[in-house]
Structure 1
């Protein structure tokens, strides 16, 4: 199953700096090309249907869309290029929040998805990163990994995501199903964690399998797929994109001041459009994997969501349902080419047209006045350091392995013991408890020294210790509140740290990433549509992503998830 996990570095084995799919399905993607825009992109928006005289007191269906890796700055930049009824449905006729942010520091995919659907920070829901290291053993832990379960119809590797058992808080869907077991909760994504975490403990997750180009669930949810899933997969949905050409939706000059098609941070990957995806005589695993870095994995996710609406009869009865759709393609494009690339801008506009068609189908299948739609992102994106330096900003790439080595050298000089820091885990240094015990060293004293060494690193903006995380730092300590919301006492490391703006933790000279407490990574869209419940207009006051789940619960007449920290989003003034 495809993900883009970032395994932690160890003193013996440094972590790759950029999130990339690991083996077999989460290791680095090699771009052979990209594919053409969807034929459906040209469809026209639906005409507004008159509201029923007496609509439902609560929505029959909640459609929660997550665009993986979408910073709000991109939505603002392309607003004049949008179709009439894609993103514009939210911006022109819905309620949207211009200053929506994550309140936690380590802004990565799993933490973001868990926060959106629980209304809680990682400190409470426990998903501190895409992966982390077990504090006692140092063994890798994947956020949705569960060796007790396996995929249906696809091979399953040891760290593949198959269940939500690592999630420590209930989700909106869990609340819905507890209130009424007839409610259905379906989640679909190009990544396992993008489906499993939104589905929660009592929903059902389906994820894209890049060994076959199909969608599958796991044995945690069911022993076998329902007939509608088998029927969808029988069409071999990914194969329709083999040898297709991804052409820019608009003339090159329409995109404005975007970077060139092949700046240095693209590395050996060509990001030029048009480009063709697929080589050889027939689709293979390389082709199915490369679909992730194109608009077509999102087209398939939306098609699968249509099949779920019909197959599960979502929104058709008195019990409200939840359909969560995590659209993964934008994250893969941005990792490879940055949010400042032509490929990224065009991908967003392709997605805009796909959403327009999807909303038209929702209006027809469910009823325009019977559902609400919410769109957000799991994190934003840091520009490539080379892009930032070209604009006179201090920026750079810091290797996690080299950083780990320098801290260990400083600790060895003071305590006489090598490799006292065992690994970097979810943006924190993890001390080696066995070595501390063996040499009679006080963990707090060593952590203080490691923190001080980190603070001397040119890339590091802030670092604290476990003791400070538990006790609280002095008022005004930089980024402390955000870092504490990312820190879970049971799972997090001993010395959490955050990088300076425009710096990324990367041992590679190409691509870019996310994971900081800075605006580029925290500022994401919160867009809502459903006139009976959401209202319409722009809200400029700061809100946070933890506010979404309590808001949706309120619209459904339900209590918020138990660990939720947020409060209902304010309605627009008009």
Structure 2
């Protein structure tokens, strides 16, 4: 009888544990966040923001993207689908539709209308995403009784995480400085969103200007403030503090300030309150993407005081979010994960100034010379329909019409590109496995290739060679400086731990699905992080 009694107690205990789930899951994506930012500014962070996440949660220190190119849309899709572009279909922010030859934006949808503004910025939806998301699976598992809200300055940073079943995905429209959505989700904005919009918060932030949070002399982890490698905001004459934030189209420039992150945080906390997230008797989901880090990183580069100041301010935002969740949802009643959609390269001229190998690839010159070589060989035939993220899309209709071999075109292109400084390898995307590059890069490129949406060929550049950025910085390569990003899990009775084994971005959704005892997304290839 004793054995039966203890067996019954054990089974009851296991059953209770299986049924207990967090009231709210909060997914946080920090756009363009390098892994090293957790440590570079560590002793400047408070104890209640990034440090708390690291010390009280699970820190996966060798977390990487396992595909290329690394861009915002593909990153968010891979985080939330547990998959890669080869399967979920979001190969880039923009791509050329192979069948029609037309350029496509990742979340474009001409069948829907803007809700909350008179602009066209709301004609968006997740319809280009081929698979379900973690947020979709959570909805289905709870018979659609839970709520999913997604928020980001960028449309793609909100729409893709929200998935196909979100109650609402909101993004920022610089036409008026409003939060908007599309008719894919609703017919009109909730009253609380309308009231929030009328408060004019972006304008109030812009009127403050942007100065450093602390005395500028304390920003010793960053390069000089007046740097030739940095861009300018508004009508500035120098890229230096304080930034007056004056000039034309400042509601768009607003994105390039840390106040964009403040606005996202404020709107997210308001959403928790107004939508009663975590109070619905189910596991709700709030997806937050902080995009200003990306805009500022592109404008000023990762060695700038602007980036350091942005992360010190974001640390305060994180602390406020965690304190709010403690008070409103309850400690250990919510689960947070934090990661990034990609990292970033350094400015090539900055690297050169420090005697490090780097360079600027002249894409326009390379493509022009390649087209001339094709014309010389095949005559006046339009054989290239577009170039996106170092991928060349061929005009297949003309290949067929004039009976020109794709391989013949590839050979001409390869010979032309080999002449360009910074060139590393020319790759036939259908035959990546045959490319004479390290196996890890073959896997990365294979995972990033989707037959319906990727280019025919890719020209791989040498490390730290970038195209199109004289000031600031860029990303989207196969190299570790673009693929290594943070991954932190926090809350819901997780025990502090540091995991140094390699994890992939596709493991996030698989792990959380496993913890929540729900099905992983339909295209998932991730492994559960043990």
Quick check: TM above 0.5?
yes
Q: For residue 4 of structure 2, what is the aligned residue in structure 1?
A: none
Alpha-carbon distance, 1:430 to partner = 0.9
1:384 to 1:358, Cα distance in 2 relative to 1, 3 A? same
Unaligned 5+ runs, structure 1? 1-52, 280-284
* CA displacement, residues 317-364 of structure 1 (integer Å, 9 cap, x when unaligned): 331011000001110101010011000111011110111111111111
Alpha-carbon distance, 1:312 to partner = 1.2
Q: For residue 38 of structure 1, what is the aligned residue in structure 2?
A: none
Partner SS, residue 246 of structure 1: coil
Q: For residue 61 of structure 1, what is the aligned residue in structure 2?
A: 24
| Residues 338, 344 of structure 1: 8 Å contact kept | yes
Q: For residue 518 of structure 1, what is the aligned residue in structure 2?
A: 479
How many matched pairs? 509
Which residue of 181, 192, 198 corresponds with 1:234?
A: 198
Q: For residue 463 of structure 2, what is the aligned residue in structure 1?
A: 501
Do residues 118 (structure 1) and 81 (structure 2) align? yes
Q: For residue 34 of structure 1, what is the aligned residue in structure 2?
A: none
Which residue of 518, 521, 525 corresponds with 1:565?
A: 525
Q: How many Å separate the matches in 2 of 1:58 and 1:107? A: 33
Instruction: Identify which range, 535-544 or 399-408, moves more after superposition.
Output: 399-408
Q: How many Å separate the matches in 2 of 1:71 and 1:278? A: 30
Q: How does 1:90-105 map to 2 (within 5 A)?
A: 90-105=53-68
Q: How many Å separate the matches in 1 of 2:425 and 2:327? A: 51
Alpha-carbon distance, 1:446 to partner = 1.6
Which residue of 439, 443, 446 corresponds with 1:481?
A: 443
Q: For residue 356 of structure 1, what is the aligned residue in structure 2?
A: 319
Q: For residue 12 of structure 2, what is the aligned residue in structure 1?
A: none
Alpha-carbon distance, 1:541 to partner = 1.2
Q: For residue 304 of structure 2, what is the aligned residue in structure 1?
A: 341
Instruction: Identify which range, 242-251 or 520-529, moves more after superposition.
Output: 242-251
| Residues 381, 398 of structure 2: 8 Å contact kept | no
Do residues 258 (structure 1) and 187 (structure 2) align? no
Partner SS, residue 449 of structure 1: helix
Partner SS, residue 112 of structure 2: coil
Q: How many Å separate the matches in 2 of 1:231 and 1:552? A: 34
Q: For residue 170 of structure 1, what is the aligned residue in structure 2?
A: 132
Q: For residue 271 of structure 1, what is the aligned residue in structure 2?
A: 239
Alpha-carbon distance, 1:95 to partner = 0.7
Q: For residue 149 of structure 1, what is the aligned residue in structure 2?
A: 112
Q: How many Å separate the matches in 2 of 1:477 and 1:414? A: 34
Q: For residue 496 of structure 2, what is the aligned residue in structure 1?
A: 536
Which residue of 76, 94, 100 corresponds with 2:39?
A: 76
Q: For residue 26 of structure 1, what is the aligned residue in structure 2?
A: none
| Residues 40, 221 of structure 2: 8 Å contact kept | no
Instruction: Identify which range, 311-320 or 368-377, moves more after superposition.
Output: 311-320
1:160 to 1:461, Cα distance in 2 relative to 1, 3 A? farther
| Residues 300, 307 of structure 2: 8 Å contact kept | yes
Alpha-carbon distance, 1:401 to partner = 2.0
Partner SS, residue 385 of structure 2: strand
Q: How many Å separate the matches in 2 of 1:477 and 1:136? A: 30
Alpha-carbon distance, 1:80 to partner = 1.1
Unaligned 5+ runs, structure 2? 1-15
1:190 to 1:422, Cα distance in 2 relative to 1, 3 A? same
Q: How many Å separate the matches in 2 of 1:102 and 1:454? A: 27
Q: How many Å separate the matches in 2 of 1:348 and 1:448? A: 46
Q: How does 1:194-205 map to 2 (within 5 A)?
A: 194-203=157-166, 204-205=168-169
Partner SS, residue 460 of structure 2: strand
Q: How many Å separate the matches in 1 of 2:18 and 2:401? A: 69
| Residues 173, 322 of structure 1: 8 Å contact kept | yes
Alpha-carbon distance, 1:126 to partner = 0.5
Alpha-carbon distance, 1:404 to partner = 1.1
Do residues 185 (structure 1) and 148 (structure 2) align? yes
| Residues 116, 179 of structure 2: 8 Å contact kept | no
Q: For residue 29 of structure 1, what is the aligned residue in structure 2?
A: none
Do residues 221 (structure 1) and 182 (structure 2) align? no
Alpha-carbon distance, 1:476 to partner = 3.7
* CA displacement, residues 100-131 of structure 1 (integer Å, 9 cap, x when unaligned): 11011201111101111101111111011111
Higher percent of residues as helix: 2
Q: How many Å separate the matches in 1 of 2:382 and 2:35? A: 41
| Residues 149, 218 of structure 1: 8 Å contact kept | yes
1:325 to 1:267, Cα distance in 2 relative to 1, 3 A? closer
* CA displacement, residues 407-455 of structure 1 (integer Å, 9 cap, x when unaligned): 2223333334455223203431011223323322112332243244334
Q: Choose 1 or 2 for highest CA Rg.
A: 2
| Residues 371, 530 of structure 1: 8 Å contact kept | yes
Alpha-carbon distance, 1:219 to partner = 0.5
Partner SS, residue 207 of structure 2: coil
Q: How many Å separate the matches in 2 of 1:286 and 1:566? A: 42
Q: For residue 4 of structure 1, what is the aligned residue in structure 2?
A: none
What is the RMSD of the two structures over their aligned residues, measured on CA atoms? 2.1
Q: How many Å separate the matches in 1 of 2:257 and 2:170? A: 20
Q: How many Å separate the matches in 1 of 2:437 and 2:211? A: 52
Partner SS, residue 407 of structure 1: helix
Q: For residue 414 of structure 1, what is the aligned residue in structure 2?
A: 377
Alpha-carbon distance, 1:225 to partner = 1.4
Instruction: Identify which range, 408-417 or 188-197, moves more after superposition.
Output: 408-417
1:386 to 1:475, Cα distance in 2 relative to 1, 3 A? closer
Alpha-carbon distance, 1:55 to partner = 12
1:478 to 1:391, Cα distance in 2 relative to 1, 3 A? farther
Alpha-carbon distance, 1:160 to partner = 6.2
| Residues 483, 496 of structure 1: 8 Å contact kept | no
Which residue of 452, 463, 467 corresponds with 1:490?
A: 452
Q: How many Å separate the matches in 2 of 1:404 and 1:457? A: 10
